[in-house]
Structure 1
Amino acid sequence: MMINPLLKTNIFQYLSLCMLLSSSTLAAQQFQNPLLDSGADPFSVYVDGYYYYTHTMGNRVVLWKTKNLANLREAESKTIWTPPAGTMYSKNVWAPEIHYINNTWYVYVAADNGTNENHRMYVLQNTSANPLNDQWEFKGKLAAPSDKWAIDGNVFEYNNQLYMAWSGWEGDTNGQQDIFIAKMSDPTSLSGKRVKISSPTYPWERNGDLGTAGNPEQVFVNEGPQFLEHDGKLFIVFSASGCWTDYYALGLLSLEGTDPMDASAWTKKEEPIFQQTPENGVYAPGHNSFFKSPDGKEDWILYHANSNPGEGCGNKRAPRMQRLYWNEDSTPFIGTPLPTTVLLPIPSEKF
Structure 2
Amino acid sequence: MAVALVAAATLATATPAEAGQTSLRAADPSVLRVGGTYISVQSTGGGIAVRQASSTDGLAAAPARQVWSDTRNLGEVWAPEITTDAGRYYIYFSAGRGPAHRMYAISSASAASGYTAETRLALPDDKWAVDGAMFVFAGQRYFVWSGWAGDTNVEQNLYLARMSSPTTTTGGRFVISQPRESWERVVGNPFINEGPQPIRDPDGRLHIVYSANGSWSDQYCLADLRLRAGGDPTYVWDWYKSNGCQFGSNRATMMAGWDPTVSANGPGHHTFVLLNGDIATSPPAGPRFPLMYHAVPKGTPYAWENRHWYTGIFAWWGGSTYTRANVPGATSDTGFGLKFFE
* TM-score by shorter chain over 0.5: yes
- The CA deviation at 1:292 is 4.6
Residues 1:334 and 2:339 are matched in the alignment: yes
Q: Tell me the amino acid that sits aligned with residue 269 of structure 1.
A: S
Could you state the TM-score of these two structures normalised by the residue count of structure 2? 0.79
- The CA deviation at 1:325 is 1.0
Structure 1 residues 160 and 50, CA gap change in structure 2 (3 angstroms): same
The C-alpha deviation readout for 1:66-121, integer Å capped at 9, x for no partner, is: 111111233243000011144xx2x2111101111101111000010xx2110110
Residue aligned with 2:126, SS: coil
Q: Tell me the amino acid that sits aligned with residue 299 of structure 1.
A: F
Given the alignment, which residue of 203, 227, 230 partners 1:255? 227
Map 1:82-161; keep pairs closer than 5 Å: 82-86=69-73, 89=74, 91-112=75-96, 115-126=97-108, 128=109, 130-133=110-113, 135-161=114-140
Stretch moving more, 56-65 or 219-228: 56-65
How many percent identity over aligned positions? 32
CA distance in 2, matches of 1:306, 1:38: 9
Given the alignment, which residue of 75, 100, 105 partners 2:62? 75
Q: Tell me the amino acid that sits aligned with residue 163 of structure 2.
A: M
Structure 1 residues 184 and 170, CA gap change in structure 2 (3 angstroms): same
- The CA deviation at 1:138 is 2.1
Residues 1:228 and 2:199 are matched in the alignment: yes
Name the counterpart of 2:176: 197
CA RMSD of aligned residues (A): 2.3
CA distance in 2, matches of 1:299, 1:99: 18
CA distance in 1, matches of 2:274, 2:32: 9
Name the counterpart of 1:9: none
Contact 1:58–1:93 (Cα < 8 Å) also in 2: no
Where has structure 1 moved over 6 Å in runs of 4 or more? 293-297
CA distance in 2, matches of 1:271, 1:149: 27
The C-alpha deviation readout for 1:298-325, integer Å capped at 9, x for no partner, is: 5222110011467445221111122211
CA distance in 1, matches of 2:124, 2:262: 45
Q: Unaligned 5+ residue runs, structure 2?
A: 1-16, 251-259, 320-334
Residues 1:268 and 2:241 are matched in the alignment: yes
Q: Unaligned 5+ residue runs, structure 1?
A: 1-29, 210-217, 339-351
Structure 1 residues 105 and 55, CA gap change in structure 2 (3 angstroms): same
Q: Tell me the amino acid that sits aligned with residue 238 of structure 2.
A: A
CA distance in 2, matches of 1:58, 1:271: 36
CA distance in 1, matches of 2:207, 2:81: 18
- Structure 1 or 2, whichever has the larger Rg, is 1
CA distance in 2, matches of 1:243, 1:95: 13
Residues 1:245 and 2:217 are matched in the alignment: yes
- The CA deviation at 1:283 is 1.4
Structure 1 residues 108 and 35, CA gap change in structure 2 (3 angstroms): same
Q: Which has the higher contact order (CA 8 A, sep 6+)?
A: 2
Structure 1 residues 73 and 220, CA gap change in structure 2 (3 angstroms): closer
CA distance in 1, matches of 2:176, 2:19: 36
Residues 1:56 and 2:50 are matched in the alignment: no
Contact 1:53–1:64 (Cα < 8 Å) also in 2: yes
CA distance in 2, matches of 1:101, 1:251: 27
CA distance in 2, matches of 1:242, 1:155: 24
| Count of paired positions | 292
Structure 1 residues 282 and 48, CA gap change in structure 2 (3 angstroms): closer
